[in-house]
Amino acid sequence: MKITTFNTQIITNHSQEITEFFEQIGFEKNHVKNDVGRNKVTGICLKNPDGFKIDISDPKIPLPQDVTSIRINVDDFKEAYDMFIDRGFENYYGNDTAVTSSSQSAVLMSRSGLVINLVKHIK
């Protein structure tokens, strides 16, 4: 398994306010995707001049609070997925993954609360 991208992700129902905050401290929108996957997630990728990135994900499901996670993009989704599951992570989607025309992903949670959004981009 090769990690191709590794960055912070905030899962929230308050994407506008959080995006505005990061723009105020020097981040700019790199790209935006709307209504992605079954939860109709709005995904906003931000980048600052030094190359640091942060993702803001706003699903159309109510969240009790914001969730800070790590997005890990990989070249081999099954290998990475199995590794996390073997180490005790649980898939938020049960045994399912979110598949779009450009990616496959799963939100994985450890028993201690660490959240990983595992992603493979489909080329």
Contacts (Cβ under 8 Å, ≥6 apart) of 60: 39, 40, 41
Distance between CA atoms of residues 87 and 41, nearest Å: 27
Mean pLDDT of the chain: 91
Q: For 4-45, what is each residue's pLDDT tens digit?
A: 999 999 999 999 999 999 999 999 998 888 776 666 788 899
Predicted model pTM: 0.86
Residue 101 scores a pLDDT above 80: no
Q: Would you state the pLDDT for residue 119?
A: 94
Question: Quick one: average pLDDT of 68-72?
Answer: 96
